[in-house]
Amino acid sequence: MAIAYRQRIDDDTEFALWKIEEKADDLYNQLQLDKGEKAYVETISNGKRNLHWLSTRVLLRKMLLTDEYIDCKVDEHGKPYLVSLPYHISFSHSFDYAAVMISKKRPVGIDIEQIKEKVERIAHKFMRNAELDFINEEHKTQHLYACWCAKEAVYKCNGQKEISFIENIVLSPFDFDKQGTIKACLHKGEKILNYQVEYLQYEDYMIGFVTG
């Protein structure tokens, strides 16, 4: 499968989606991996986890237009980074899609989630009461997923562990549409960071993405 969707944010920033229709071996054969990466793939050789890991790396390769080895590592907070290429990156995946966001100048964060009603049962775990109050009952599931993806995108863009979605990431009220902008504020200790998170519904998936 080729890139299913691609959106340029500015001259230095874009994201893309890859619909996963290949088998793991087909994805694996499109990659250049070092010994450590090959060993890691062996530990996740079954199921969606393997397909998700491989497909994000294939998509990254397509976006960077290279067949060469890409040295992609993960820092102590779990944030992926490129050792020798001048890009900030963020990965996400959900069921049949992988998502990658890249930027030459700014930290980025992206999240993709398949829209399912189960989010309504766990909303209290990531939403403040004041945030729940602005949720549109007519589009409740989609509205909640837009909020979740926004908070997850901010979390990934910030790139630090020990951030609570309820305590540290606050969303301003917004009316849900299939595409829009959410104002978010991350505050922890003396740190206060304001973000403008973009979101869009793609088929039965919600995507949130942001730059730092």
User: pLDDT for 3-29, tens place per residue?
Assistant: 999 999 999 999 999 999 999 999 999
What band does 1 get if pLDDT is binned at 50, 70 and 90?
low
In the chain, ranges of CATH 3.90.470.20 domains: 3-105, 111-211
> In the CATH hierarchy, which fold is given to the domain comprising 3-105?
Ribosomal Protein L22; Chain A (3.90.470)
CA dist., res. 179 & res. 199, Å (int): 6
CA-based torsion, 52, 53, 58, 63: positive or negative? positive
Residue 2's pLDDT is: 82
CB 90, CB 156: distance < 8 Å: yes
CB 113, CB 149: distance < 8 Å: yes
Q: Which CATH number fits domain 111-211: 3.90.470.20, 3.60.15.30, 3.30.565.10, 1.10.10.60?
A: 3.90.470.20
Q: Give the predicted TM-score (pTM) of the model.
A: 0.96
Mean predicted confidence (pLDDT) in 68-82? 94
